[in-house]
């Protein structure tokens, strides 16, 4: 029997426990042969476990009193014991549904917590923001490149870091402008760039209170990818659909100008 090719969809099926039993061994071998998909599988599984842990306590909660009111039950008074069973059933269904979000959505859902984000979480946010705003035609940025000084000053104040809008002209990209973004209990800056063909890349920067240092790392999700790093309180990612080598070159430029004080 010829073995079918696996895809990212099968990663979601595996995490949700829906991958057929007779395909699981072959799926594990496929992961071993594909390090990128193996890493994605591990990340998505961790996200799902985090979601389950966050919502599991709902199962032990008492049913809210407002749901015991006859008006909320169509005028019928349901015994408390039966109501509790119904409540737990609904909670379990919610957890199952949230757990079934799978890779794409779950990888972008970060539960509120204090402290630093991981580099992968920063890259996820950067890619998600890039996919949304790079496709815009009229509202690509909040503040345009014609107000660069104001843009940099505003974002520096809001993010809490000394920022610059790196010069990417040596790699063929000009600044379009930037915007402020939300980031787990903090804010982030996004600087958008465009080349002569109209292709766009963006630089995402947020404050990292953990002062970690990750070195440069690469992530790809569907047609978008990013080079990301955390260093000296800066959590950064350069995202776009450009080739990996181009993004790496842009990431190095951004690093030198943000952290080393060099100019383009």
SS (H, E, C) 184-226: CCEEEEEEEEECCCCCEEEEEEEECCCCCCCCCEEEEECCEEE
What is the pLDDT at residue 158? 94
Please, are residues 121 and 184 in contact by the beta-carbon 8 Å criterion? yes
Dist CA 142 CA 146 (whole Å): 12
pLDDT at 153 (0 to 100): 95
Distance of CA 169 to the CA centre of its chain: 28
CA atoms of 163 and 185, how far apart (whole Å): 19
Torsion angles phi and psi, residue 163, rounded to 5: -110, 155
Q: Distance between the two ends of the chain, CA-based, in angstroms?
A: 57
Per-residue pLDDT, 212: 64
Tell me where in the chain the CATH 3.30.200.100 domain(s) lie: 119-259
Counting as low any pLDDT under 50, the low residues of the chain are 1, 59, 66-68, 70-75, 77-78, 80-83, 85, 87, 92, 95-96, 98-115
Tokens 């919502």 found at: 55
Distances (CA, A) of 103 to 27, 56, 60: 16, 20, 27
Pairing of strands 143-144, 217-221: unpaired
Q: What is the pLDDT of residue 11?
A: 86
Q: So what's the pLDDT on residue 107?
A: 40
Amino acid 229: pLDDT = 92
Task: Give me the pLDDT at residue 147, please.
Answer: 96
pLDDT reported for residue 111: 42
CATH of domain 119-259: 3.30.200.100
Kindly report, residue by residue over 146-181, the tens digit of the pLDDT. 999 999 999 999 999 999 999 999 999 999 999 999
Question: At CA 30, angle to CA 25 and CA 32, rounded to 5?
Answer: 100
Euclidean distance between CA atoms 152 and 40, whole angstroms: 34
pTM for this prediction: 0.58
């Amino acid at each position: 029997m010829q073995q079918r090719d696996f895809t990212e969809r099968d990663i979601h099926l595996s995490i949700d426990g829906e991958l057929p039993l007779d395909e699981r061994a072959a799926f594990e071998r496929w992961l071993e042969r594909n390090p990128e998909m193996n890493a994605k599988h591990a990340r998505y599984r961790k996200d799902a476990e985090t979601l389950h842990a966050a919502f599991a306590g709902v199962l032990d909660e008492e049913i809210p009193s407002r749901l015991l009111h006859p008006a909320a039950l169509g005028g019928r008074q349901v015994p408390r014991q039966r109501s509790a069973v119904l409540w737990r059933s609904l909670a379990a269904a919610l957890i199952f549904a949230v757990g079934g979000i799978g890779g794409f959505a779950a990888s972008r859902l970060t539960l509120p917590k204090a402290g630093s984000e991981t580099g992968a979480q920063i890259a996820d946010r950067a890619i998600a923001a890039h996919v949304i705003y790079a496709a815009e035609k009229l509202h690509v940025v909040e503040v345009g490149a014609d107000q660069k000084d104001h843009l940099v000053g505003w974002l520096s104040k809001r993010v809490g870091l000394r920022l610059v809008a790196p010069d990417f002209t040596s790699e063929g990209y000009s600044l379009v402008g930037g915007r402020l973004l939300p980031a787990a209990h903090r804010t982030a800056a996004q600087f958008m760039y465009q080349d002569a063909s109209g292709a766009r890349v963006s630089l995402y920067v947020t404050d990292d209170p953990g002062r970690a240092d990750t070195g440069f790392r690469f992530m790809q999700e569907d047609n978008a990818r990013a080079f990301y790093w955390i260093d000296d309180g800066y959590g950064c990612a350069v995202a776009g659909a450009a080739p990996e080598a181009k993004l790496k070159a842009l990431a190095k430029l951004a690093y030198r100008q943000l952290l080393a004080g060099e100019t383009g």
